Structure 1
Amino acid sequence: MLGFKSINAQLKAFLIEMGELSYFTSRFLKEAFKRPFEFKELLKQCYNMGNRSLLLVGITGFIIGLVLTLQTRPTLTEFGAVSWMPSMVGISIVREIGPIITALVCAGRIGSGIGAELGSMRVTEQIDAMEVSGTNPFKYLVVTRVLAVTLMLPLLVILGDAIALFGSYLVEHVKGNVSFMLFFNQVFDSLEFGDIVPATVKSFFFGLAIGIVGCFKGYYCKKGTAGVGKAANSAVVFTSLLLFVIDFIAVFVTDIFYDL
């Protein structure tokens, strides 16, 4: 009986949080198109989130390209299909691995940062002070950060894909003496318009999810330093789960279009 009550309470809390998150998202969509527009703050956040994530995304992409090629090459060699390596790696990275891995890295790097930053501002009553002074803290703090992540993540995905393909090329060059032109000619010959567009579109939704959840957790952070840590941690966990859900929906919709 106690276990049932506990599950019921957790389910109720989850549904309440989903309702609050939906309202938060609708408020963002309404505020994003209202004047005045905080262009300076938007550019500042784009720089902070994009530039400071370049190194982490680059290293992650390079390792992904190396590991994927090293792990797959022996199997393809066994079946005499090693010539398909550039095509296989290119499609895998551009379609799926690049966007989702980059989004997960940014969820840990950017999502937790937004949650902790806004959480600390809520705890120290800086957001309350902005509301009292007549400033719209939601537009200045939330809208700019969500738009910045939404705009920067696709660029980071493209960068991560390029570096991952370069890492794969290095392995093929060392193991199979494949030239740079031959490798990338095969990669681009195998890619189609239908591979690039869905991956790019879902990257925007990944960025939107990271920004919305990070800002939501931080903006409504509970009082105390423990609340700041909880906001940052829950932002990463919830965003990671949401990214997989969005990715599944994107793949499902894309598959339907392929079948038509």
Structure 2
Amino acid sequence: MKSIGKYILFIGSLFVNRERFKTYVQLTLDECINIGINSLVLVSIVATFIGAVSTIQTAYNLVSPLIPDYVISQVVRDLTILELAPSITAIVFAGKVGSNIAGELGTMRITEQIDALEVMGINSVSYLVFPKVLASLITYPMLVVIAGFLSIMGGYLAGVYTGIVTEADYIYGLKVDFIEFNVFFAMIKSFVFAFLVSSISSYKGYYTTGGAFEVGKASTIAVTNSCIAILLADYLLAQLLL
């Protein structure tokens, strides 16, 4: 409970004694590149292969001749939008971005760069962490959209070019009984996951003590805690909104 209270105070300090708006614009743009653009290749590869594997495994399990082939893409579509694109991407995001954020802030802490900012009268939490959180909220939903598209496209390539399902059936399955709210639900999850990963990783890195070993340990704990938070939030959002 003490750690949760400290975390809440840490989040509250993001909005206290902030710098000028102009200062955050450049910082946020830099973080968007580090967090979003630099994660694009990894997210794209993971999403494409997950979609392909989902199509093959779905076809493997639908063995009854009474089930039409278009159900394969229907299952892949709903699975991708509801779970694979926002949640699996979040785990990848936590592993890459979360560890990077924690390591960067942890290094700044043990080299006393954060202390130097405090001596200069700068709110180090707002100056260092706020751009990272804001950049995550901007770029991660975009990564989820790209991951969803590539996952469905990967399923299309795996299904059509291996003869599992025809092109017409796959496209028809994507359109039949489509629920628009699922996309809205996926976007809600993406914003929540982005905030959790960026804030938890920043918190762990910011309060690192010791030396290089503790920085690595803080990065590991940041990824672990972020993944646990993602799974808990995923469950709670599903209970509340579905």
TM-score range, shorter chain: over 0.9
1:141 shift after superposition: 0.6
Residues 19-68 of structure 1: CA deviation (Å, up to 9, x unaligned): 1112112223x349x55221100011011111110011001001101111
Tell me which residue corresponds to 2:151: 164
Tell me which residue corresponds to 1:74: 60
> Quick check: 1:100–1:243 contact (8 Å CA) kept in 2?
yes
Tell me which residue corresponds to 1:239: 226
Tell me which residue corresponds to 2:208: 221
1:221 shift after superposition: 0.6
1:227 shift after superposition: 1.4
Tell me which residue corresponds to 2:6: 20
Select which of 110, 126, 146 maps to 2:133: 146
Tell me which residue corresponds to 2:20: 36
Question: Does 42-51 or 81-90 show the bigger shift?
Answer: 81-90
Question: Does 235-244 or 135-144 show the bigger shift?
Answer: 135-144
> Quick check: 2:70–2:165 contact (8 Å CA) kept in 1?
no
Task: Tell me, in whole angstroms, the C-alpha distance in 2 between the residues paired with 1:83 and 1:192.
Answer: 16
- Please give the secondary structure, in 1, of the residue aligned with 2:36: helix
> Quick check: 1:91–1:190 contact (8 Å CA) kept in 2?
no
1:79 shift after superposition: 4.4
Question: Does 245-254 or 189-198 show the bigger shift?
Answer: 189-198
Task: Tell me, in whole angstroms, the C-alpha distance in 2 between the residues paired with 1:176 and 1:233.
Answer: 41
Task: Determine if the alignment matches structure 1 residue 178 to structure 2 residue 166.
Answer: yes
Select which of 63, 71, 82 maps to 1:95: 82
Gaps of 5+ in 1: 1-14, 256-260
1:223 shift after superposition: 1.9
State the Cα RMSD in Å.
1.6
> Quick check: 1:122–1:220 contact (8 Å CA) kept in 2?
yes
Aligned pair in 2 of structure 1 residues 227, 200: CA closer, same or farther (>3 Å)?
Answer: same
Task: Tell me, in whole angstroms, the C-alpha distance in 2 between the residues paired with 1:62 and 1:155.
Answer: 16
TM-score in terms of structure 1 length: 0.87
Task: Tell me, in whole angstroms, the C-alpha distance in 1 between the residues paired with 2:193 and 2:80.
Answer: 16
Aligned pair in 2 of structure 1 residues 190, 142: CA closer, same or farther (>3 Å)?
Answer: same
Task: Tell me, in whole angstroms, the C-alpha distance in 2 between the residues paired with 1:152 and 1:31.
Answer: 24
Tell me which residue corresponds to 1:207: 194
The alignment covers a number of residue pairs equal to 238
TM-score in terms of structure 2 length: 0.93
Task: Tell me, in whole angstroms, the C-alpha distance in 2 between the residues paired with 1:78 and 1:162.
Answer: 28
Task: Tell me, in whole angstroms, the C-alpha distance in 1 between the residues paired with 2:152 and 2:48.
Answer: 8
> Quick check: 2:94–2:223 contact (8 Å CA) kept in 1?
yes
Gaps of 5+ in 2: none
Task: Tell me, in whole angstroms, the C-alpha distance in 2 between the residues paired with 1:115 and 1:188.
Answer: 42
> Quick check: 2:70–2:173 contact (8 Å CA) kept in 1?
no
1:188 shift after superposition: 3.5
